[in-house]
Amino acid sequence: MLHVVRTKQVCLLLALFACSTPQAIVTKAQFSENLRKGTYSYQIQEFTKSEWLAVGAWNGSRHPVLRWAKTGGDDQRFVFVPIPGTNKFRIETMRGDVHDRVCLGIEDGGGLIAWPRKNDKSQQFELNWQIDTIFLALKEGTKGEFLDVAGNGNIVRWTGVDGKNDKPKSNQRFMLWNPRLESKPAGSLFDQIKSSATPFAEFIQNPYMPYQPGGGAANLHINGMAMTGGGKVVLNYPHSGGATGDLYHWLEGESNWKKHTFEMFDKGLTENRYPSGMQAVGDVVAVADNKYVNFFRVGATVTEMPEARFEIPSGNRENVAMAYHPTHQRVYLATMEGLYRSTTPDATGTNASPSANLFKFTRISGSGNMKFGEAGMALLYDRTTGHFLCLALGPDKAFDSVEAYKITLTNFGFFQGIESLGRITPARPTTQGGDDGVGSWASFRWGGTVSVSSDGNLEIYAAPKRLDNVVQNVSKVLKWRFGPRFVSNP
């Protein structure tokens, strides 16, 4: 049997090399080299009929992936996007009319389709290169099975040889051909923003919150927003009187927001107290109020971390931004009053649930002259430059804009300087709708945050005023994606 399979492979290769159209097969080594050089798309050939994987036309419910005769079009070109910290990839189609359905994924029935990006294993794939380093199998993430060419030509998940998942069958083997450079590395995170004059913008299909006529969150407005390392969206609302606040958290796929009510520290003070700007490292969320920075661990439930709370000196206190520096192995925290860092280093900062030791801070600089962000600030480690990008969301009450700064550190991880990079105004979707007269649509007037996605692209979020108003798109969170693969609206 092995002899028959190998003979068929050799015959297939000879036939392809003999054809009149120039062909370029991709080996494992060449694929790895291309990952370092830029973003490449590939044609994927299957082994049953020597046809090509293709994303089919919209059939009313989905874009199926199937084998098809060669078209030479972008419907048969795919990009492999590394998922940081793993040996897995997202596979994205280059087909132009799929709108936001760019990611290949396994649907509930086991078929392979093109669908909007999801933060689960259905869109994670492992490249299982064979011993010849030319043929490969694609192992999907839901059951660890192989992508399989079914008898009807559709691509599905299926077990390998002998019902196991350690060796692919002949109809589970593929080859990569004809790499095409789609973009060179985007450079720094700020370069990603500048290179995406028209970023990909979409509304998150978040659930609404019930209207509460008696008071509470829905009668007030969102004051801050964060995105955890696990993909949870976290919002905060103040309460009338300033004694308590609410954290709402939601993960894509969940049907409802979950709520955690917390008491303000020193709530007996005469000043009005309210939670405001926030950002997360892993599952730990920092929430600034107008006196303290508070910390919460947000998982299935919310756990308060009172031992990490600390007071900010007098002045502007409502902005806070936080990020982990993997070289110095410390969390850095920026406020309008200065820069702080973890007192002791800890290597768990890239974990889903980092150690509490990282959230005890020492101040290392005074005010950096950054503008106050009405919707908050965000601090991001830029692995290209080794420094931090800090963004003020809604500076000078410009609710459609973001002000960017570069914060540089010394070789020992101390503050060195801050540089203004300028202001950007990302384009809004043409489908933006609904205005109740007080600017309730998603903007940097309310809450916002910034994160780096698993595929290395920059994402900026803006929250609406509330989540109980269902007039058109008023109560949806808006997301922009910046990067070479996301340069136009659907």
Choice between 452 and 419, residue whose per-residue pLDDT is larger: 419
Instruction: Name all domains of the chain by residue range, CATH numbers in brackets.
Output: 2-183 (2.80.10.50), 189-482 (2.120.10)
**Structural contact between residues 34 and 79, judged by C-beta atoms closer than 8 angstroms:** no
**Does residue 304 register a pLDDT over 90?**
yes
DSSP helix/strand/coil, 468: coil
Q: Cα 238 vs. chain centroid, distance in angstroms?
A: 27
Least Cα distance to 85 among 324, 250, 334, 372 occurs for 324
Q: Has residue 183 got a pLDDT over 70?
A: yes
- Find out whether 161 and 201 touch, Cβ atoms under 8 Å: no
**Is the whole model's pTM more than 0.85, yes or no?**
no
- The H or E element that residue 156 is part of is strand 155-158
Q: Of all helices (H) and strands (E), which one includes residue 140?
A: strand 136-140
Picking from 454, 457, 461, 466, the residue whose alpha carbon sits closest to that of residue 478 is 461
Amino acid making up residue 301: T
Tens digit of each residue's pLDDT (9 = 90 or more) over 273-301: 778 899 999 999 999 988 889 999 999 99
Looking at residue 252, what is its pLDDT? 77
pLDDT digits (tens, 9 = 90+) for 45-104: 998 999 999 999 999 999 999 999 999 999 999 999 887 657 889 999 999 899 889 999
Structure-model confidence comparison of residues 247 and 197, the more confident one: 247
| pLDDT classification of 214: cutoffs 50, 70, 90 | very low
d(C-alpha 423, C-alpha 403), whole Å: 4
